[in-house]
Copies of this chain bind each other. A is one copy, B any other.
Amino acid sequence: MSQPIDIAVIGATGTVGETLVQILDECDFPVGTLHLLASNESAGSGVMFRSKSLRVREVDSFDFSKVKLAFFAAGPAVTRSFAPRAQAAGCAVIDLSGGLPAEQAPAVVPEANPAVLDNLKAPLQLSSPSAAAIALAVTLAPLKGLLELERINVTACLAVSAQGREAVNELARQTAELLNARPLEPRFFDRQMAFNLLAQVGASDAEGHGVLERRLVSELREVLGLPSLKISVSCVQVPVFFGDSYSVSVQSRTPVDLAAVNAALEAADSIELVEEGDYPTPVGDAVGQDVVYVGRVRGGIDEAEQLNLWLTTDNVRKGAALNAVQLAQLLIKGLV
């Protein structure tokens, strides 16, 4: 249908990058030439795309004028180094790392704030927000008209894959060591991750808030268009390989109509609502799927103004790669 677009994926050998290439492969996105970029560590390796093996190259020497669109999935430092080059070459940027400020690259979740795209000016730069912001935005967007949102309380139970390949390998290695009664030698995580919970994910600031926690608050406010929404969030690293889960408690200013909430969630395309009595889990439900699973929809105990939810989603797919590809599909009209 559309004219093919030449594309670069930076971080193509990573957890998110690999899935992004796979989604581009599966969907009918009009990909012209695909350039797979990474660090010098995996330059030279091959990645399959549409039945051909594509050679991975180093991002450092890449000429961004060869492409019209670049996905950045290699960490915020890489985005900050190379996005300006891409931009100077007239290439649109979709960043998945949180490396660009909101003023330069607005955060967009197609289910929540697609209208941002209508007013976007060159250089085209978008942020695909954190997996947590995507899951919450997809779930809360259809409820915005039903609730007078006052406060959202989130405990985010993050899979180790949220920290990339090395973290996945480390959980597997630690688990095997413990089951074989060998002494545990933490490497990627600074302590035992297997059969344990780590109450902090990444660095924290002087006030004790984690970088990811701050990021979720600002991204969610931005994407929902509610700049003064009160949000409290705690990120916890759990011994799960893939699939983030969110325990969410919403305060409304007015009583919550649970039947209307259920109907709105049921009607949303990107949500799979799990009926009362059952509940969704990361493994078994969310992983590998393109939707946010929502369950345990219930009110408060002795409180009509409360709504409690449990969300789970594939952090790599719906929480990153798929959202970025959806953004590209929206951007596409401006590029061809």
Interface size on A, residues (CB 8 A): 58
Which of A157, A196, A200 gathers most chain B CB within 10 Å? A196
A157 touches B241 (CB 8 A): no
Known: A191-B281, A204-B277, A249-B153. A197 touches B300 (CB 8 A): no
Known: A179-B176, A298-B207. A303 touches B196 (CB 8 A): no
SS class, residues of chain A in contact with chain B: mixed
Sample of 5 more A-B contacts, CB < 8 Å, known A196-B240, A231-B301, A232-B303: A197-B238, A208-B276, A213-B301, A238-B239, A239-B240
Cβ–Cβ < 8 Å partners of A66 in chain B: none
Residues of A within 8 A of B (CB): 153, 155, 157, 171-172, 175-176, 179, 191-192, 195-200, 204, 207-209, 213-214, 217, 230-234, 236, 238-241, 243, 245, 247, 249, 276-277, 279-284, 295-303, 306, 308, 310, 312
A208 touches B238 (CB 8 A): no
Known: A155-B247, A245-B199, A283-B192. A303 touches B230 (CB 8 A): yes
A299 to B54, CA, bound (A): 49
Cβ–Cβ < 8 Å partners of A308 in chain B: 232, 234
Query: Closest Cβ of chain B: how far from A220's Cβ, in Å?
Result: 11
A240 touches B175 (CB 8 A): no
